Amino acid sequence: MNFTNKNICLTSRSTIMVIIALLISTLVLASVLAPSTVPAIIEEEDEVTEEEVWVPTKEDIEYQDSMFCIIEQTQQDVDTIKQDIDAILYKLDRLEYKDGTSDSIRYVKGGPIDRKRN
């Protein structure tokens, strides 16, 4: 049999059936021969080990207390700064008149209040 002198048509029914049969058999062999994808259950010996619990020393407690005091002081400083900023923004938003009265309308440059003031 000399295959070199024959033209093989890839769109013929028998050629397509052979290609499909090869693909299916390859998939079946690959699934059978492939190692299991389920992870192997490794049984570990149940060893009861007692871990030492960390017991803070006097120096550790003093250090933690000082860090807590620093954090607490910083929070108080931040709160004070926020209150001061709010007071400054309130003063900036107030419109003061020549007679000493004030209005809490937001000042808009070029607005009707600005034109009256100038």
Q: Could you report the per-residue pLDDT of 72-94, keeping only the tens digit for each?
A: 999 999 999 999 998 888 777 66
31 phi and psi angles, rounded to 5 deg: -75, -30
| Model confidence pLDDT, tens digit, residues 19-73 | 999 999 988 887 777 666 555 666 666 565 677 888 999 999 999 999 999 999 9
Tokens encoding 64: 């933690």
pLDDT at residue 99 is higher than 90: no
0.75 exceeded by the pTM? Answer: no
pLDDT average, residue stretch 8-29:
84
> Based on the number of CB atoms within 10 Å of its own CB, is 56 exposed (0-12), middle (13-18) or buried (19 or more)?
exposed
